[in-house]
Structure 1
Amino acid sequence: MSAASNQVTRDDVERVVRSVLSRQFGQSPAASTTSTPSGKPNPLVVNISARHCHLTDEHIEILFGKGHKLNPIKWLYQDGYYAAEETVAIVGPRRRMLPEVRVLGPSRGASQVELAFTDAISLGLDIPVRISGDVAGTPGCLIVGPKGSLELHEGVIRAMRHVHMSPADMAAYGVKDKDLMQLKVESPGCSTTLENVSVRGGDDKIKLEVHLDTDEGNAINLPNATHVQLLKQNDSSCGCLA
């Protein structure tokens, strides 16, 4: 057999991926730990956010068919946001792929893929750590759905660890939007402090919630954590949240 006949084409990839995508999974996109802070207005929730993507309305129709709307299967902690029934395949430059990547809703103004570091290594992508929405100059990928595919020219990132805060939460912790914080976690065998947790300020409807990616959550054994503490960066005076 010649070398040319062994080459994997885009059509081959799409055919295999569509076969895989015919099976829909209902796995939870996150694991979490909750703590009730003393003297703070809201409980602290720390969630592991698994690999996922956000899509525009145009890209939803390309991938799932004209007029298609996302179907929520699980509502997330922040009101109005959900894990959709729909999944896509993410294909890297070496034609390696992640076959079942959950779409989160609602739709957005720009499509974006959020992966963990190990996901990126698997795909052969060199992705930067960025705040969601900051995708200029980032790598792209091929996204494949059951009805079509599209080439995303940029938008694949590793989401910077961050904490969503309402104005009341920011006032209570003495921080503002884009400030950096620390998350101290005590868990069996691997207690640690995560630096550079970016504050994402929002309105009064926002709930206090830290987002970590899968690699980070697994490394600190977050589901079995016994004690969590959110502090201003390089400031140990903010108090215990457990």
Structure 2
Amino acid sequence: MTMLAPSQTGPNGRLARDQIEAVVRAVLARRLAGESSAGLQRSVTPGPTKPNLVVNISARHCHLTQKTVDRLFGPGYQLTKMRSLYQETDFAANETVAIVGPRRRVIPDLRILGPCRDFDQVELALTDAISLGLEIPVRLSGDIEGTPGALLVGPKGSVELEKGVIRAERHVHMNPDHAAYYGVKPLDRMNLRVYGRCPTTLEGVLVRVNPAWKLEVHIDTDEANACDLTRADKVELVKP
């Protein structure tokens, strides 16, 4: 997290947009020069069960349209793959952007996930949003009407999103065979039990079904830290 210094404000105590972008690009340049390939997601798998369940921690990231990528990185720019995600239709891109919130604070390393979509969406943990000064709702991916926006800054330009910043609702990806095994259907709710040093049950995990999907639960970094997921002994998905 980066804070814009008071000395960088104008006579009325507020930053002009071009000043914000200049500061953010300077931060981006430093980050890109020494950026590590730290992972977007970490996972915990349970003991021997059928089917095999994976729980991944989804760190803050964004999904962008090609039009927005063009404005942030230059006309015709194509995202480059850093690695495939567990759901192999998606990938973590090498590219990141900065997001600027109302508190003049900046997160300079918001990872882009590809491929491009037909809408812009930013997914943050609650602590990220609080730091930026944003009040974000818990929403299913794609349900962005009535959500707040934010300023995104890239190497070649900026985009002021009018909407699209959410906290992603905890959910499970599964295919029809998994749904039959658990006896659930799309938009049902399940509970995720985490066994370990911080035993926890995360309720209301939303079921999403697609023939191409592997069995995978997504929770955000706040939820994962609360239950110490990376040190968990076992995870279990159950009907309430």
Distance in 1 (alpha carbons) for counterparts of 2:126 and 2:52: 29
| 8 Å CA contact retained: 2:172, 2:218 | yes
Which residue is 1:187 aligned to? Answer: 196
Q: What is the deviation of 1:184? A: 0.3
1:215 equivalent in structure 2: 222
Asked if 2 retains the 8 angstrom alpha-carbon contact of 1:143 and 1:151, the reply is yes
Measure the CA separation in 1 of the matches of 2:48 and 2:140.
Answer: 26
* Residues 45-70 of structure 1, C-alpha deviations (whole Å, 9 max, x = no match): 00000000000000000000011000
Matched, 1:125 2:147: no
- Cross-structure match for 1:199: 207
5+ long unaligned stretches in structure 2: 1-6
CA RMSD of aligned residues (A): 1.5
Q: How many residues align?
A: 229
Match of 1:30 in 2: 41
Cα deviations by residue, 1:96-121 (Å, 9 ceiling, x for unpaired): 21111000001001000000000000
Q: Is the 8 A contact 2:46 2:233 kept in 1?
A: no
CA pair 79-16 structure 1, distance change in 2 beyond 3 A: same
Match of 2:180 in 1: 171
- In 2, Cα distance between equivalents of 1:199 and 1:59: 30
Shift of 1:35: 2.0
1:116 matched to 2:140? The reply is no
Deviation track 1:10-64 (CA, whole Å, cap 9, x = no partner) reads: 11111111122223332100111012553x3x31000000000000000000000
Q: Distance in 1 between matches of 2:70 and 2:213?
A: 30
- Unaligned ranges ≥5, structure 1: 235-242
Question: Which one of the candidate residues 138, 155, 160 is aligned to 1:146?
Answer: 155
**In structure 2, C-alpha distance between the alignment counterparts of 1:44 and 1:112, rounded to whole Å:** 27
1:78 aligns with one of 87, 102, 106: 87
* TM-score, with structure 2 as normaliser: 0.92
Distance, in Å, in 1 between the alignment partners of 2:183 and 2:48 is 15
Q: Aligned residue for 1:18?
A: 25
In 2, distance between residues paired with 1:9 and 1:27? 33
TM-score computed with the length of structure 1 as normaliser: 0.91
After superposition, the Cα gap between the structure-2 partners of 1:101 and 1:93, relative to the gap in structure 1 and judged at 3 Å, is same
SS of the aligned residue for 2:45 comes to strand
- AA at the equivalent of 1:192: T
- Partner amino acid, structure 1, of 2:233: T
Could you tell me how far 1:74 is from its partner in structure 2?
Answer: 1.5
Q: Letter of the aligned partner of 1:99 in structure 2?
A: P
- Please show how residues 55-66 of structure 1 align to structure 2 within 5 Å: 55-66=64-75
CA distance in 2, matches of 1:163, 1:224: 20
How many Å apart are 1:167 and its aligned residue? 0.5
Q: Is 1:50 matched up with 2:59? A: yes
Asked if the contact 1:36/1:44 (under 8 Å) is kept, the reply is: no
